[in-house]
Every structure is written in structure tokens, then in C-alpha cells.
Amino acid sequence: MKAFKRISITVAVLAIIFVALASFTNPGKRYFEIAKNLDIFATLFKEVNTLYVDEVNPNKVIKVGIDAMLKSLDPYTNYIPEDDIENFRTQSTGQYGGIGAITSTLDGKIKVVMVMEGYSAEKNGLKIGDEVLKINNVDVYNLTREETSELMKGQANTAVSLTVKRFGEEQPITLDFKREKITLDNVPYFGMVSEDVGYVKLTEFKMQAGKEVKNAVVELKKQGAEKIVLDLRGNPGGLLIEAVNIVNIFVPKGKEVVSTKGKVTENNAVYKTLNAPVDTEIPLVVLINSASASASEIVAGTVQDYDRGVVIGQKSFGKGLVQITRPLSYNSQLKVTTAKYYTPSGRCIQALDYSHRNADGSVGKVPDSLKREFKTTNDRPVYDGGGVDPDVLVAKETLSPIAHSLYVKGHIFDYATEYFYKHPDKSTARNFELTPAEYSDFKKWLKDKDYDYTTNVERNLDRLMKRAKEEKYYERIKDQLYSLEATVAESKQNDLDDFKNQISKLLEEEIASRYHFEKGSIETSFDDDPDIIRAIEVLGDTQHYAKLLYPAGNE
């Protein structure tokens, strides 16, 4: 009964919210429809709670119902119960109480995959590669990675101990830590990638992102940077205001960065740069890929609209929606999509149309026929409805099946750990490369490891065999099919050599992280990164850079 009363109160609160929203449209009919459906929902739950054969968990059932309702809108409108508020706050602020270590599940074991510099984990001897066995004497064998992570977190200045299994040690080691306030950097790395090109890696748009990028650019200029590469690849976005602050580093005060437009017109807004820029002339490249979304696309799209820099990489994700959070009862929150955003040229880069779903409930992309052309400051054509198109397209590198298998099964990770303990004196990250002899050692190390994988050719061949049997061609062509199957199997034996460069790159980045943490992993990738290599080429060719930004006749 108490559970039903709590649900009734929640429904009443929702009713008030929905009635208030209804006043913006047709107050009469919408009020009746909202009240009717909320009443149906409340009475339905009452009957289920009373009559269902098993005990009903009200929190779980209602959460499933809310999630299903919001899922029908878009993926970004979410209900955040009280239990998840702390994780949500961490995502927004980048701050939490912990020891400064990241764990992941590899081959069924929970291992430390990254240690943050300067925090308790590093200072008290935790190493990347350590397998976590216990936290405060609680066995983690049956816990998920998320549950393990929660055990490690806690109030600052509280104690926590980890019992770990370490490579080369026969007995487990117990390490003691004091939790502290951890701040996740938006900019995990900045440095010089060539004699005159500075590089800034931005992974989040949490609080202080603009300040971190600004400080990085100022420091790089002191180090001799005459050109800048801003890397937004894989950045899912975050706070809109931080996107404005980052654009402001390169664009003068008072320039429009983004506008938002939604159903509630009084909440529509235009965001302009508010401060003096750092440098409006320095040549700039912005790197994007298919995982660059939201605030990343605001930065890339605005830089492109003002012809302030060259965008290089692959087409961005295409998320042109804005969310805000609203408090609900019982310390829960609603993250709700309230508007679409538009870059200065007037385009919205939203790629998926959630308001017009297909008959099966799936969501389609905005068709090319409905995309509109807009113009940049220098009269270059840009388009809405499909993400940000790069000015210079770089082909996306596809991870081979063997490299993917070695990575997800933890063999790349485990070999890097062993390499670290066997080579304690290796300390350089920049230009670090595995020697041919070291790669041969890796191949020998793999001989008793399981890394079975299926190639796309094998999948297609299997489908062909099934189809041949269905259509009665199998007996006629089975010899050719078996011959092809044998050829593919033989070819797979050479995959470790055929994909040596790709596998070596993964190994080198993982090994470098053992010596220099995340910065080492990023730094050792520079020589093999096609996007960065292309950016340096474009920035090094002054005429080509200008030609990309100025159409013929507008120089």
C-alpha cells in the first residue's frame, strides 16, 4: 500500500507538470487526454501490484515504464533516479571522490586500465595491469566493473584498500589509499606535434573545458606554436556554454556561436562570444570523426561557418539537439530535449528525425532531398541535416578482425603489462616503436592464447553455402566452395604478418601508457595517425590552406 501511495504521489506530480505543459497548446483537449492517461496508468499499476502472481518491485516496474516512454522520444531524454544522480553529476562536472584509477573487465577479470597522474592511486603504488581481487576485503569476483568502481569511490579523506594480483608477484599485494576529490581533465594532453604545430586533445565539454583549452593554446604559443590542431575526435559533447567558450578562443568578441530554438519560444536563445579572443589569426585545424557529437559539432560547425579554420577527418555524428535537466520529486531528475541548435550560417546538423518515425518504430536519417544549402562567411556551401562534413576528408581506418580480437580479448593489454615489467628502463613515448624482434616475441607469446575470430569473408562464405543449399546449387558448386574456404583459412594464418602495422600500433600505444599513462598513449600515436599527419600537411602548405577557406575569386 505504501508503494502505491508513493506511485500515486509521483503520478500527481507528473500530472501537474503535464497540465502545465498542456497550457502551451490546446488546454481543453490535451488536459483531458493527459488526465485520462495518467489515471489509466495509476489504476493499471494498482491492479498489477495487487493481482500479479509474484511480488512487484515498484521502483523497477515504474523505471522500466518511464524509460520506455522516453525512449519513444529520443535517446537523449532520460530519467535519472536518485541512485544515479552521483554518476550523472560526475559526467557533468568531471569530479568525484576516489583514488584516481580506472578499471575494466578483461577476460572476466577486473583490471586497472589507467592510473591518473598525481592522485592517490599513482602515489601509493597502484599499477596499470594490476588485477583487483578485493576492495576493503570485499571479494570482487562476482561483482561487475560498475559495482567495483562504486566500491572504490567515496567521500574525500576516507580510506580504502585494494588487494591486487600483479605480474611477476607470487602473492597478492594489499595497497592502502586515501580517497580524494578527483577532477577529470577535459584536455588530457597538449603538446607540440611538429616544430611549429601545437596539438590540443579535447575529450569532454564538462565545466572548465574552455579554460583548459585556452590555457593549452596560450602555453603552446609560448613553446613556439604558430599553428594549432584541436582534436575533437570521439568527443560526445557536453555543456553548450563550454563550446561557446572554446570558439571564443579563436573568434572575436560579440560573434554568434550558436542559437537554440524549441517549442517554448521564451527559452530560445542566441549565444555569442563574450570575451577577448586569444588569437584570431593563427592557422587552425579541427579534427572530427563519426563519434564527434553535440558540442563538438557546434565548435567544428562554427569554425567552418566563419572560415576560421579547416575541418579535417570524417563526417561528424549529427546531434543537433539541446538538453536541460529538471528536478523531479524524491531527488530524481529529468534530462529532456528542449530545442535544436543552429550554427551561425543557420544550419541544424541533426541527422536523425525522431519526430517522424518509420512504421516499425525505427528512425530514419534526413533524406538528401530535404537537406538545404547554407553559406559560410567566404561563400562556401555547407549543408544541414547530416552532421558536419569535413573540408578535408580522410578515409576511416577499419580495425581488422584479428586486431579487434586481440584487443577485446585483452591480449594487447596483457602483453603490454608483461613488456613493462621486463623493460623497466624504457621511458620514451614520442617515436616509440616495437622492433621486428619484439614483434616476433609477441607472435611467440600468442601461441598458447585463444584469439579465434571470424572474418567478413568467412561470414559471407557461410551465407553463400546456406543459400546454395536452399536453392539447390550446393552439389554443383560445393568443390569450389570448399576450395575457397580452405584458401581463406590458409590466408588467415598470415594475418599476424599482413596486419602487423595495425597490431603494432595498438601495442605501442598500450605499452607507452605503462610508462607515461594517458599522455604516453596519445603521444606515441602521432607518427601513425592519418588525421594528424594530414593536418600537419595542410597547415604546412600555406597556399592549400588558404584555398580551402577561400573559394576561387574571393581571396
405 in active site = no
Pairwise pLDDT comparison (12 vs 127), residue with the higher score: 127
Taking Cα atoms as reference points, which of 307, 197, 297 lies closest to residue 534?
197
Asked if the domains at 95-183 and 189-393 fall in one CATH topology, the answer is: no
pLDDT digits (tens, 9 = 90+) for 299-328: 999 999 999 999 999 999 999 999 999 998
Average pLDDT over residues 324-348: 93
Between the alpha carbon of residue 125 and those of residues 157, 166, 175, 323, 414, the distances in Å are 18, 11, 7, 41, 19
Q: Is the pLDDT of residue 273 over 60?
A: yes
pLDDT digits (tens, 9 = 90+) for 391-428: 999 999 899 999 999 999 999 999 999 999 999 887 67
In the chain, pLDDT over 90 holds for what percent of residues?
66
Q: Is the pLDDT of residue 44 over 60?
A: yes
Q: Tell me what pLDDT residue 546 has.
A: 96
Q: Is the pLDDT of residue 555 over 60?
A: no
Contacts 24+ apart (CB under 8 A), 209-212: 209/238, 209/239, 209/242, 209/245, 209/246, 210/241, 210/242, 210/244, 210/245, 210/246, 210/248, 210/249, 211/245, 212/185, 212/186, 212/187
Pairwise pLDDT comparison (358 vs 495), residue with the higher score: 495
Q: Is the pLDDT of residue 350 over 60?
A: yes
Runs of H (alpha helix) within 366-400: none
Our CA dihedral for 271, 277, 281, 286, rounded to 10 degrees, sits at -60
Average pLDDT over residues 7-17: 51
Q: Tell me what pLDDT residue 554 has.
A: 54
Q: Tell me what pLDDT residue 366 has.
A: 82
Reported as a pLDDT band with limits 50, 70 and 90, residue 358 is confident
Q: Of 130, 231, 305, 389, which is the active-site residue? A: 305
Average pLDDT over residues 90-99: 83
Q: Is the pLDDT of residue 292 over 70?
A: yes
Taking Cα atoms as reference points, which of 408, 397, 205, 210 lies closest to residue 289?
397
Q: What's the one-letter identity of residue 295?
A: A
Helix, strand, coil: what percent of the chain each, to 5? 45, 20, 35
Quick check: 281 and 523 in contact, CB under 8 A? Answer: no
319 in active site = yes
* All structural domains of the chain with their residue ranges: 2-72, 95-183, 189-393, 397-524
232 exposure class (CB count in 10 Å sphere: 0-12, 13-18, 19+): buried
Reported as a pLDDT band with limits 50, 70 and 90, residue 94 is confident
Q: Record the cell numbers describing residue 371, joined without a space.
A: 537537406
The CATH code belonging to domain 95-183 is 2.30.42.10
Between the alpha carbon of residue 218 and those of residues 191, 205, 361, 391, 408, the distances in Å are 11, 19, 49, 26, 38
Quote the mean pLDDT of the chain.
90
450 in active site = no
Q: Is the pLDDT of residue 14 over 90?
A: no
Reported as a pLDDT band with limits 50, 70 and 90, residue 59 is confident
Reported as a pLDDT band with limits 50, 70 and 90, residue 25 is low
Pairwise pLDDT comparison (546 vs 86), residue with the higher score: 546
Q: Record the cell numbers describing residue 39, joined without a space.
A: 489515471
Report the alpha-carbon distance of residue 258 to residue 270 in Å, rounded: 6
User: pTM (2 decimals)?
Assistant: 0.87
Q: Is the pLDDT of residue 22 over 70?
A: no
Reported as a pLDDT band with limits 50, 70 and 90, residue 86 is confident
Best-predicted range by mean pLDDT (190-194, 330-334, 395-399):
190-194
Q: Of 120, 149, 294, 504, which is the active-site residue? A: 294
What is the CATH superfamily name and number for domain 189-393?
Answer: 2-enoyl-CoA Hydratase; Chain A, domain 1 (3.90.226.10)
Q: What are the φ/ψ torsions at residue 40 (nearest 5 degrees)? A: -60, -45
Quick check: 15 and 22 in contact, CB under 8 A? Answer: no
Q: Of 127, 201, 315, 319, which is the active-site residue? A: 319
DSSP code, position 384: S
19-28, 230-239, 519-528: range with lowest mean pLDDT: 19-28
8-17, 40-49, 118-127, 393-402: range with lowest mean pLDDT: 8-17
Pairwise pLDDT comparison (235 vs 369), residue with the higher score: 235
Reported as a pLDDT band with limits 50, 70 and 90, residue 206 is very high
Q: Is the pLDDT of residue 5 over 60?
A: no
pLDDT digits (tens, 9 = 90+) for 156-188: 999 999 999 999 999 999 999 999 999 999 999
First to last CA, the chain: 75
Q: Is the pLDDT of residue 16 over 70?
A: no
Reported as a pLDDT band with limits 50, 70 and 90, residue 6 is low
Report the alpha-carbon distance of residue 216 to residue 185 in Å, rounded: 12
pLDDT digits (tens, 9 = 90+) for 444-462: 999 888 888 788 888 888 8
Q: Is the pLDDT of residue 61 over 60?
A: yes
Q: Record the cell numbers describing residue 292, joined without a space.
A: 564527434
Reported as a pLDDT band with limits 50, 70 and 90, residue 235 is very high
